[in-house]
Amino acid sequence: MISELLEQFFRWKRPVNSRSEARNRLKLVIAQDRSGLSSEALEAMRKEILEVVARYVEIEPSESEFSLESDDRMTALIANLPIKRVRPQIEPDSPIPSEASDSEE
């Protein structure tokens, strides 16, 4: 109880840490600078990847995350796509369902 109160108090008291804000913002913008991709290209790529993945598994587009991360001057595209369920026996070259969830029944 008391420790919880204390914790809340300190969270409230602690000034916004501009050092870590600087670090986090820089990491994002530098990863994008290094990739040489425009934000339009990044968005187009995101859409296409989602389309391909949706042929095999059902995903929730609103919960999926794409980000660029840099480590040791190497940039990686990180995609986090929570799978709702696997689609039953779809052939790899069957047509792409138009909407991930509307296509059933």
Partner 1 sequence: MSRIIVITSGKGGVGKSTVTANLGTAIAQRGHQVALVDADFGLRNLDLLLGLENRVVYTAIEAIAGECRLEQALVKDKRQPGLVLLPAAQNRSKETVNPAQMRQLVSQLSQNYEYILIDCPAGIEMGFRNAIAPAQEAIVVTTPEVAAVRDADRAVGLLEANNIRIVNLVINRIKPEMVQMNDMMSVEDVLEILAVPLLGIIPDDERVIVASNRGEPLVLDEKLSLPAIAFNNIARRLEGDKVPFLDLMAAHNNLLNRIRRFFRS
Per CB under 8 A, 84 contacts partner 1: no
Nearest to 66 by CA among 41, 91, 100: 41
Judged by CB under 8 A, does residue 30 bind partner 1?
A: yes
- Give the residue, chosen from 7, 8, 34, 38, that forms a contact with partner 1 under the rule CB under 8 A: 34
- Note whether 80 and 65 are within 8 A (CB): yes
Q: Does 96 bind partner 1 (CB under 8 A)?
A: no
- Binding site residues, partner 1, CB under 8 A: 15, 17-20, 22-23, 25-27, 29-30, 33-34, 70-73
